[in-house]
Structures are given as C-alpha cells and as structure tokens.
A and B are shown apart, each in its own frame.
Chain A
Amino acid sequence: MRTQDLHTIRLRVGMICAMLAATLLLPRSVGAHPHVFIYTATDIVFDEKGLAGFRIRWLFDEMFSSMIILDYDQNGDHRFDSEEIEQVRQNAFSHVKNFDYFTHVKIDGRVFKVQYVTDFTARIHNDKMIYEFFVPCHVPATDIDKEVKLAIYDETFYTSVFLVERPVAFENADAFEVEHHIAKNRDEAYYFGQIFPEEITFRFRLRPPGKTE
C-alpha cells in the first residue's frame, strides 16, 4: 500500500474517531443523569370557595427507597413511625424546598411559587417509599374559567419524575365545573433544553345553580 494511501486512511479513521468522540461528549446525545426515579399522582382539592391546593404523592424507586429506609427506619420494623417520619421530613425532604418541591404552578398564566407544604408523611409499601404532602394553593372560583397549570419535575434532572397511568383526581369538586387535560409543555423545556415537562392543565368555574353534572 502506498504511503499516500496509508496517510489518507489514517486521516479518515482519525476524523471518524474524532466525530464519534464529539458525539459521545455532547450533553444532548445521550441522557443518563437521573439517579432517583419518582412516579407521581396528584389529587386536586377544592373547598367551598374554589381551589384549595394539591395533594401530591411520590412513589420512589427501590434503590433510593432502600437508602432512606436503611438510615431512617431505625427500629427496623419496615414502617415509619411518627418520629421516623419527622426525621425523614427534616433530612430527606425539606431540602426539596430549594427546588420548589418540584412543583411548578401557573394560575391564569402567572407563576405561583410554592413556598411551603403541609401534612407531610412517608410510608413504605412493597419495599418502596411513598411521600405524600399537601401544597396549599387557594384560587377562588368565579363565573369565569380559571386556568391552572401544574407540572412536577426536577430542573436539575437528578430526579426523573413520571406520571402514573391516571395521575389526576379531583376532590370536593361537585360545586364546580372542571375540565382538564395533560400534555407536554413545549414552551418550557428544562435540563439544557432537552426535556419538556408533562403538564396538567385544568379549568374550573362555579357550577350554575340547578345544573347537575
């Protein structure tokens, strides 16, 4: 083989390898970052005035669950008592406040920042951990539709959040007309613009007197 041919082959192999390396290096080529996985479901809770808030449940993957259970199920009975729940809340939940509890809300297009949550509890189910907490979000109902958008995701993508098969239920909503749908929000991607969040959009208004469902 001529020297020139060898040079050409080496050059081509070199370029192919360089492009392959570049492809593997680009952050958008493959995403393997999440270390924690959550399946989430939400109860949208109403009171006599309108929207009261969201009761959110998170089911964790078995490995992250075992990490927390190992550290906080101190009596080893495979359930969290009230003291253990408080330890879990302080050491393995409260920090999520810095990430808005992964709960992103908009009310008629305006951002509603989740400042605090209530009624936190943790339990173990089939070796997996479940968190449940309530996000207060009061929106009075009127004769005109109010639109609320809710998306649950970790902007850093350390945690990957999936919606369960039927992720939404409405509680105490008999006095209101409610409709909802779930779709990807293509206007607000996160994690270097690579992921569109799944967003629950619901509209509600006062049910006219005498009108039944």
Chain B
Amino acid sequence: MLALLLLLPLAWAPPTAAENPFLSGKAPKQVSPEPASQPTWLTKIALVQQQIKQKLSALIRRSRTEGQHQALLLAMLVAFGYGAVHAAGPGHGKVFAMSFMLSRNPSTASGLFFGTFVAFFHGMSGVLCVLGLRYVLQQSVSGNLADISQVTQIVSFSLIALIGLAILAKNARAFFKRPRVSFAPPKEEKSSASRAGLLPWALAVGLVPCPGVVMVMLFCLSMEALLLGIALSLSISAGMAATISAVVVAVVIGKAGVLKSASQRRTETIEAVFGMLSGTAVSALGIAFLLPYIGPA
C-alpha cells in the first residue's frame, strides 16, 4: 500500500487538455515533458484502437443496412472491448476514484458500485450531450462539444477539488483529536445505504462527456439508428466500468489486505493517514486540472 501511495504522484502526469484540436479554439494548456522512456508499443496500441473503431463502424453499418443480428451482437461485444481498452489509458477518472476509495472504508461491492457508476455517468454524459444538442437545442454537436466539455470539466474538477479538501479536513481533524478517540470511520459505512451516498461522488468524477461515446452516437445518428447508438454507448460504458471497477476493487482489496495484518491501534493511524493523503491527492488533482481553465490564457 505504501508503494501504491508513492506511485500516486507518478500515476497522474501533468494534465493535458483532453480537447479535440480540430474543434477547440484554445491552444494546448500543457506540453508533454522531456522524454523519459522507449516507446513503440503505444503507437501499436493506437493502431489496434483504430482497427477496433474501424471494425465497430463496419459492424454498425452492416447491422443497420443489412439487419444482421449477428453483426449487432458482435458490435456490442466490440464496443465493450473498446470501452475496456479505452478506459485503461490516461483519464477516465481512475486516479480520482482510487484516491476517493482510499479515503473511505468501503467493501468490495462498494468499490464495484462506485467504479461502475463513474463509467456509467461518463458514458451517459456523452449520450445526453449528443441528444441534448441535436434534438433539444438543435445545434451542431461538433461545434459545441468543445465548449460543453470545457464547462463540464470545470464543474467536475471543481467538485473533485472540494471533495478532496473535505476529505483532507475530515481526516486531519480525526488524526489530531485526542488519542483516546478512535480514528476509524464508523462500521456502518460498509452498509448498502452508504453505496447510494457514493453516487454524487461518482457523478462528480464521471461528469465530463466521453468523446468516444459521442463519436459512436453521432455515427449511429448519421445512419438514423438512435437506439443502436444508445445500446452501443451502454456497451462502451460497461467496458469502461469493467476497467475502472477493476482498479477500484484492486485498491479496496489491497487496502483491506494490508490493514488486516496491522494491529488495531496502527490500523486507526494508518486509516487517518490514508484519508489525509487521499484527500490531498484528490484536491491537488482537481486543482491541477482546473488551473489551466481559470489561469491566465
């Protein structure tokens, strides 16, 4: 667990603007730092992604024009795979989700619940963005996506920064209270009622529309296949949920496994320290991602 916490700063590189350079009017907010590694496999993975996308668009076209159920099922599977691979890369709220869960005392089921809903909100945000712009506001999606992404990113990162500060404050207060007071959070946090309490935090992390889902939705709309687009978006979200949940559950199990081997007194101290470090990480991440939007142009 110490290794994981030490790796936290490495896990999130300085944020780059996750904006479409073709549609966004803003210059890049961050350039990549000096080279440090020897790649070629990343380009190969990008090629695999492109091939998956190509396969997905061909399957969508076949299922739409030829009405083939087999093509539809295959498209759903490929969409799931695309979502899983896509969420494994930078972004998609894994670090936020991990840090947030580290600050609490959740069950594995809660970790699964949280990771799933982060992905669900991320995917459905893209669907709602397309539907809202296209059918309600009757505006160009490509022309407005960059602005919507920016607004949702500002809201999301602000909420995340506030959540982090609240976590830090709560655990710092518990840590510096008199020694006789238990630092451990109440056991009832593992109840199902607390899982519902995770939803607002999952929404804060997953608020930004997923560009991958937006493109699939628009592609299906171009073939007048709205329901197919929504179904594939759910499939992509399920794939992302698998990856994000895997990370979150691994953290939950990791933390529980490490704490089980510690004495009661040490457990309470470690949990408070985890809470403060997580709160610091979450708020720092939120602020770091927010700064390019509110700093000088």
Question: Are B257 and A191 within 8 A (Cβ)?
Answer: no
**A120 interface residue per 8 A CB criterion:** no
Which residues of chain B from 6 to 52 have any CB-CB distance to chain A below 8 Å in the complex? 7-8, 10-13, 16-28, 31-37, 39-40, 42-43, 45-47, 49-50
Assess the B261–A24 pair: CB atoms within 8 A. Answer: no
Report B28-80 residues with CB < 8 Å from chain A CB: 28, 31-37, 39-40, 42-43, 45-47, 49-50, 53-54, 56-57
Asked whether A11 and B260 contact (CB < 8 A) given A28-B37, A31-B45, A195-B43, the answer is yes
A61 at the interface (CB under 8 A from B): yes
A contact residues around B26 at 8 Å (CB): 98
Give the distance in Å from the alpha carbon of A8 to the alpha carbon of B49 in the complex.
40
Residues in chain B near residue A193, CB distance under 8 A? 32-37, 39
Interface residues in B202-250 by Cβ distance below 8 A to A read 211-212, 214-216, 218-219, 221-222, 243, 246-247, 249-250
B88 interfacial by beta-carbon distance below 8 Å: yes
Contact mask for chain B residues 124-153; partner A; CB cutoff 8 A; 1 contact, 0 none: 000000000000000011110000000000
Inside 8 A of B243's CB, which chain A residues have their CB?
24
B45 and A64 form a contact (CB under 8 A): no
Residue of B with least CB distance to A188: B35
Cβ contacts under 8 Å, A25 to chain B: 7-8, 11, 94-95, 98, 247
Report whether A21 and B39 are in contact in the complex, using a CB–CB cutoff of 8 Å: no
Report yes or no: B142 in contact with A67, Cβ–Cβ below 8 A: yes
Q: For window 152-175 of chain B, which residues contact chain A by CB distance below 8 Å?
A: none
With contacts A25-B94, A32-B49, A35-B215 taken as known, whether A20 is within 8 angstroms of B89 at the C-beta atoms is no
Of the listed stretches A89-97, A109-117, A173-181, A202-210, chain B binds: A89-97
Cα distance A20–B252 in the bound complex, in angstroms? 12
User: Are B21 and A96 in touch, CB under 8 angstroms?
Assistant: yes
Q: Is the CB of A195 within 8 A of B7?
A: no
Cβ–Cβ contact B260 & A7, under 8 A: yes
Verify A194–B37 contact, CB threshold 8 A.
Answer: yes
A156 vs chain B, min Cβ distance (A) = 5
B133 nearest CB across to chain A (Å): 10
Whether, in the assembled complex, B196 has its beta carbon less than 8 Å from a beta carbon of chain A, the answer is no
With CB as the reference atom, state the residue of chain B lying closest to A60.
Answer: B22
The 8 Å CB contact of A67, one of B89, B98, B141, is: B141
What's the Cα separation between A8 and B261 when bound, in Å? Answer: 7
Find the B residue at minimum CB distance from A68.
B142
* List of B residues within 8 angstroms of A30 by Cβ: 45, 85, 88-89
B21 near A196 with CB under 8 A, answer no
Task: Find chain B residues with CB under 8 A from A184 CB.
Answer: 40
Number of chain A residues close to chain B: CB under 8 A: 65
Is the CB–CB distance between A155 and B28 below 8 Å? yes
Complex Cα–Cα for A154 and B35 (A): 15
Residues of B within 8 A of A10 (CB): 256-257, 260-261
Any A CB within 8 A of the CB of B200? no
* Interface assignment of A169: CB less than 8 Å from any CB of chain B: no
Chain B interface residue count, Cβ-Cβ cutoff 8 angstroms: 79
Interface contact A14-B218, CB-CB below 8 Å? no
Task: Please give, as numbers and ranges, the residues of chain A lying within 8 Å of B222 by CB-CB distance.
Answer: 66, 69-70
> In this assembly, does B87 line the interface, its C-beta being within 8 Å of a C-beta of chain A?
yes
Q: Are B215 and A21 in contact (CB under 8 A)?
A: no
B94 touches A190 (CB 8 A): no
- Chain B nearest CB from A26 CB (Å) reads 6
- CB of B118 within 8 Å of the partner chain: no
Task: Name A71's contact: one of B142, B214, B255 (CB within 8 Å).
Answer: B142
Q: Known contacts being A21-B4, A71-B140, is A194 close to B39, with CB within 8 Å?
A: yes
Chain A residues proximal to chain B, CB less than 8 Å: 7-8, 10-22, 24-37, 61-64, 66-71, 91-93, 95-96, 98-99, 102, 154-160, 162, 184, 188-196
Residues of B whose CB lies within 8 Å of any CB of A are: 1, 3-4, 7-8, 10-13, 16-28, 31-37, 39-40, 42-43, 45-47, 49-50, 53-54, 56-57, 85-91, 94-95, 98, 140-143, 211-212, 214-216, 218-219, 221-222, 243, 246-247, 249-251, 253-258, 260-261
Q: Which 7 A-B pairs have the closest CB atoms?
A: A14-B257, A32-B89, A18-B254, A189-B35, A193-B35, A21-B250, A25-B11
Given A67-B141, A195-B42, 17 additional A-B pairs, CB 8 A: A12-B257, A15-B257, A18-B250, A19-B4, A24-B243, A27-B89, A28-B37, A30-B89, A32-B89, A61-B54, A62-B219, A63-B56, A66-B215, A91-B140, A194-B39, A195-B43, A196-B40
9 contacts between A and B (CB under 8 A): A14-B255, A19-B4, A33-B18, A62-B53, A91-B140, A160-B46, A191-B42, A193-B33, A196-B40
